[in-house]
Structure 1
C-alpha cells in the first residue's frame, strides 16, 4: 500500500524570511521552488524521503492577512537527545530564540519557536507514539 504524502501549504508576505527560518534554522531541504507561476512564487521544503513537505507561497502585489494562533503548531518529534540538541542549537545559531509555549505541555520535552510570520513550531525531544 502506498503511504499518502502530506503537503502543508501556507501563504506568506516574506518568502526569504521563511526560507531562512525553515531551511537554515530548522534544517529542511528545498525540494522544489518556482517563480512567477501564475503570479505566485513558492518553495517546498522537507526531507527527500519524508512523507510530508511544507509549501510557502507569495503572490506579487498581494498582502496576506496572517492569523497565527499559539495553539496552531507544527510539531517535529526528534527522539534522539543529541540530534534534538543539535536541532535546537542550529535554530539558536541562526538567531531564533525559543518562546514559551501557550500550552505548557510542549515546554516539558521541547522548545517552541515562532517563525517570521508568527506561527509556532515545536522541536519535541520524544518519540511519536501513535
Structure 2
C-alpha cells in the first residue's frame, strides 16, 4: 500500500521572511504558491523525491503569532556525517546560526535552527530508528 503524501501547514505573518530559511538554508524548492485565494496567500516548499512538503499561509488582516513553544520542532535525520555537515554549512552560509535546543537531547547529535517565526528545525546527525 503506498504511503500518503504529508503536507505540514502553518500560518505566518511574513512569507518573504520564511523563504530564505527554508529555500536557501534547508534547500527546499518552491513547488507552489498562491495569492489572495479567499483572503490567503501561500507558499509550498518541498523536495522532488520526498513524500512530504511544507505549506505556509498568510491570512490577510489577521496576525498569526509565532511558535507556541521552543518544543515545536521539525526534525530532519541525516545519518551520513558528510550530508549532515553540508546541511549545517548551507544553513550558516544562508545566514542562520544554531540556537541551543530547549531539550538538551537534540544538542547531543544535532543542531537546532530557528526560523523567523520562532519555529525550530533540528538537523540530527543520526539515523531514525523506529
TM tier relative to shorter chain: over 0.9
Residue 118 (1) aligns with residue 124 (2) = no
Alignment of 1:94-113 (within 5 A): 94-113=94-113
> d(CA) in 1 for partners of 2:65 and 2:90?
29
Paired residues in the alignment total 130
Unaligned runs of 5+ in 2: none
Matches of 2:67 and 2:17, distance apart in 1: 17
Question: Whole-Å Cα distance in 1 between the matches of residues 122 and 25 of structure 2?
Answer: 13
Q: Deviations over 1:39-77 (max 9, x none)?
A: 111111111221111100012222113243111110001
Equivalents in 2 of 1:33, 1:67: separation in Å? 22
Equivalent position of 1:6 in the other structure: 6
TM-score when scaled to structure 2?
Answer: 0.95
> Pairwise CA RMSD of aligned residues?
1.0
- Secondary structure of the corresponding residue to residue 123 of structure 2: strand
Tell me which residue corresponds to 2:38: 38
Query: Which TM-score applies when normalising by structure 1?
Result: 0.95
